[in-house]
Amino acid sequence: MIQAILTYQFVLNPKETGEIEPEFSPIQLIFKNEDFNKSDYSNLIVTNDIFGIFYQHTTGVMGQTGAYGNFYSGRLKETPYQVLSYFRQEADGSQFLTLSIFELDDEIEIFDDLVRSLAKKLDVTFETLIRAKSSKQLALIEKVHTKLADDIKFTIFQMERLSNLDKLQKAALIFNSEERLKILNTLREYPISKREMKNILEKIKPNPNVDILLEPFLELNLIRRDWIKGERDKRTGKIENQGEYLFLTKDIVLSRVPNEALLQKLKDTESKGKVNKYVNYRNKVVDFFSAYDPMEEPVQAKKKLASLLLNPDIYDFFQLMRSNFYPLDKIPKILSNWADVDMILEELRNLEVITEIKDEEDRSWVMLLTDVKPLIVFPEYLLPKIKTAYDTNYITQEIAKKAFDLLEVSYPETVEF
């Protein structure tokens, strides 16, 4: 869970003696965790950690000209939290640091888009703040501080929403992550130990948290974890192949499907006019799915679709459109006050999730072109692969038997979305 978002300006504070007293001057400190406040948050983050993060950002920046920004993520050294941070250096050399602080078991990668979206706003805010301070415009300075606080509060609000995902969004987590896609593709070949899986994932990202990466798979009953006793090597006397192993028992595909209920609803409510919205809508749906194959859809397209499902405002709008259709000029205002409806519509149009239909008065109606539903299938293709892996000594007899047993037990199980 998000703990706080803190913003600072780095200042040198030169003395008459020529010495400097560098410090991070707070701009806005917004806390979600009520255990902390502006006057007491040393148990959340300490100055040494702030300087350490600042160093990570500024290494190699000395020769940089013009405005510049970068991101960093890592665990704090002196408190049990982790951070997603954004550093901004303006053209005049002013430097700013924004820290989003999370609990250690949070999967901070899913908040990356929200942090980057906040960073775009911060670029404008910090530039405006510098200009206001240099010209001593007190009213503008106050306005900037108020806007900054609002932007941070909104980001925290969105982060909280992302901490409570439904089953569809948990499936989207799999397809939005290179590490999770690697887990899925690896287990499509044969079972593998958790230790070996971590070694594979480290080629993608250093120090991966395998337990967190496995969470959506386990919650959707796609993977089983089981302990393998191993076998004693007759030559060395050591126990080989002992440890926790991962077994794929259900496969998953993030697929687009027609929304049959919406088609029927439009057909039932459609009045006979010069332009039949139902016929035009049905034709668009048929045209799309005539050329669509979920197994052939590029991975990047699935990742983009998954990313949209993990955007809180876009997902709320998507959920709204799954059960109804609306005139473009009368879309219900169910979204947060900060939501950009035009941006949401553009994103969903570009990915062909929604479409627009004209009525007899040339009025545009927004409709869901494609619904999204994960397809859960029994991985029958694994049966010969497991046998081959055993025959070629990639896995032992104990691992192969456990894999077959788990597939047999899980065969009748279903996952509803």
DSSP code string of 196-233: HHHHHHTTTSSS--HHHHHHHHHHTT-EEEEEE--EE-
The reported pLDDT for the residue numbered 408 is 95
pLDDT digits over 273-301, tens only? 545 788 899 999 999 999 999 999 999 99
SS3 assignment, position 242: coil
Torsion, CA 355, CA 359, CA 362, CA 365, rounded to 10: -30
Query: Among residues 153, 102, 168, 204, which one has the least CA distance to residue 308?
Result: 168
CATH number of 167-250+378-410: 1.10.10
Considering only 262-271, 276-285, 331-340, 348-357, which range has the smallest mean pLDDT? 331-340
- Residue scoring higher pLDDT (239 or 17): 239
The reported pLDDT for the residue numbered 288 is 96
Provide Rg for the chain, Cα atoms: 26
The reported pLDDT for the residue numbered 270 is 72
Considering only 54-68, 93-107, 304-318, which range has the smallest mean pLDDT? 54-68
What is the token pair recorded at 349? 């149009």
Q: State the chain's mean pLDDT as an integer.
A: 91
Residue 206 reports pLDDT greater than 70: yes
Topology of domain 254-374 in CATH is Arc Repressor Mutant, subunit A (1.10.10)
Q: How confident is the model at residue 213 (pLDDT cuts 50, 70, 90)?
A: very high
Question: 357 - beta bridge partners?
Answer: 365
The reported pLDDT for the residue numbered 338 is 66
Residue 172 reports pLDDT greater than 80: yes
What global pTM score does this model have? 0.81
Q: Are 170 and 216 in contact (CB under 8 A)?
A: yes
The reported pLDDT for the residue numbered 277 is 85
Mean pLDDT, to the nearest integer, of 237-253? 91
Mean pLDDT, to the nearest integer, of 187-209? 94
Task: Using the CB atoms, write b or e for 157-191: b if 16+ within 10 Å.
Answer: bbbebbeebeebbbbbbbbbbebbbbbbebbeebb
What is the C-alpha to C-alpha distance for residues 377 and 251, in angstroms, rounded to an integer? 5
pLDDT digits over 75-92, tens only? 999 999 999 999 999 888
Mean pLDDT, to the nearest integer, of 36-64? 88
The reported pLDDT for the residue numbered 289 is 96
Residue 45 reports pLDDT greater than 60: yes
The reported pLDDT for the residue numbered 273 is 55
Residue 2 reports pLDDT greater than 70: yes
Q: Are 306 and 173 in contact (CB under 8 A)?
A: yes
Residue 333 reports pLDDT greater than 80: no
What is the token pair recorded at 336? 């947060």
The reported pLDDT for the residue numbered 65 is 65
Q: How far is CA 106 from CA 50, 52, 244, in A?
A: 20, 21, 23
Mean pLDDT, to the nearest integer, of 158-172? 92
The reported pLDDT for the residue numbered 62 is 60
Share of the chain above pLDDT 90, in %: 71
The reported pLDDT for the residue numbered 105 is 87
What is the C-alpha to C-alpha distance for residues 165 and 113, in angstroms, rounded to an integer? 16
Residue 215 reports pLDDT greater than 80: yes
Q: Are 224 and 247 in contact (CB under 8 A)?
A: yes
What is the token pair recorded at 298? 């590029």
Task: Using the CB atoms, write b or e for 235-267: b if 16+ within 10 Å.
Answer: eeeeeeeeeebbbbbbbbebbbebbeebbeebe
